[in-house]
Chain A
Amino acid sequence: MTNNAWRGRGVLILGAASAIAEAVARELASQGAQLVLVARDGPRLEAIAADLRVRGSPNVAVRALDLVEAEPTDELLQSLADQIGGFDTALIAHGLLGDQTRAEQDAAHAAALIDVNFTSAGLWALALARRLERTDGRNGVVAAIGSVAGDRGRSSNFVYGAAKAGLAVLMQGLAHRSALHGGPKAVVFKLGFVDTPMTADLPKGGPLWATPGAVAKVIVKGLNGRSAIVYGPWFWRYVMLIIRLLPQPVIARIDI
Chain B
Amino acid sequence: MALSFHSQVVEPWGRTPRLPHQVARPLHRDQLPGLIGEAAGGGGLLAAGLHRSYGDSGLNPDGLMISMRGVDRFIAFDPASGVLRAEAGVSLDEILRMATPHGWFLPTTPGTRFVTLGGAIANDVHGKNHHRAGSFGRHVRRIGLLRSDAGALELSPQERPELFHATLGGLGLTGLIAWAEIALAPIPSTFVDEETVPFANLAEYFLLSAESDPRFEHVSSWIDCTASGTALGRGVMYRANWSAAGGLAPHAPRQKLQVPITAPPGLMNKLSLRAFNAAYGGMQRMRRGTARKHYGGAFYPLDAIGGWNRFYGPAGFYQHQFMAPLAAQKDAMTEALRTLVAAGQGSFLAVLKSLGPLRSGGLVSFEGPGASLALDFPNRGEATLKLLERLDSIVVAAGGKIYPAKDGRMSAATFRAGYPRWRELEALRDPLFSSRFWRRVTHDQ
Contacts and interface: CB of A to CB of B under 8 A. Distances in A.
B74 A200 contact: no
A51 B73 CA distance: 5
Contacts of A48: 73
Contacts of B132: none
Interface residues of B, number: 19
A244 to B, nearest CB: 30
A32 to B, nearest CB: 12
Given A1-B252, A43-B30, A200 B25 contact: yes
Contacts of B25: 197, 200
Given A54-B74, A54-B76, A47 B98 contact: no
Nearest to B249: A1
A50 interface: yes
Interface string A38-73: 000001100110110011100000000000000000
Contacts of B73: 47-48, 50-51
B29 to A, nearest CB: 7
A2 interface: yes
Interface in A1-42: 1-2, 19
Contacts of B101: 2
A48 B72 CA distance: 10
Most buried by A among B6, B25, B73, B98: B73
B77 interface: yes
Contacts of B29: 47
A1 B98 contact: no
Contact of A50 (B70, B75, B252, B253): B75
B76 A2 contact: no
Given A47-B73, A50-B76, A55-B74, A2 B250 contact: yes
A33 to B, nearest CB: 16
A200 B6 contact: yes
Contacts of A1: 249-250, 252-253
Contacts of B74: 50-51, 54-55
B287 interface: no
B98 A44 contact: no
Contacts of A44: 28, 30
Interface string A209-231: 00000000000000000000000
Nearest to B8: A204
B32 to A, nearest CB: 12
B27 interface: yes
Contacts of A201: 6
Interface in B247-263: 249-250, 252-253
A200 B75 CA distance: 26
Interface in A175-205: 197, 200-201
Interface string B64-106: 0000001001111100000000000000000001100100000
Contact of A54 (B6, B27, B98): B98
B77 A54 contact: yes
B368 to A, nearest CB: 34
Nearest to A2: B101
A185 B74 CA distance: 33
Contacts of B249: 1
A197 B35 CA distance: 14
A223 to B, nearest CB: 19
A66 B98 CA distance: 32
A44 B27 CA distance: 10
B83 to A, nearest CB: 12
Contacts of A56: 98
Most buried by A among B28, B76, B77, B250: B28
A212 to B, nearest CB: 9
Q: Which 6 A-B pairs have the closest CB atoms?
A: A54-B74, A51-B73, A54-B77, A51-B74, A44-B28, A50-B75
Given A1-B252, A43-B30, A201-B6, 15 more contacts: A1-B249, A1-B253, A2-B250, A19-B27, A44-B30, A47-B29, A48-B73, A50-B75, A51-B75, A54-B75, A54-B77, A54-B98, A56-B98, A197-B25, A200-B6
Interface of B: 6, 25, 27-30, 70, 73-77, 97-98, 101, 249-250, 252-253
12 contacts: A1-B253, A2-B101, A19-B27, A44-B30, A47-B28, A50-B73, A50-B74, A54-B74, A54-B77, A54-B98, A55-B98, A197-B27
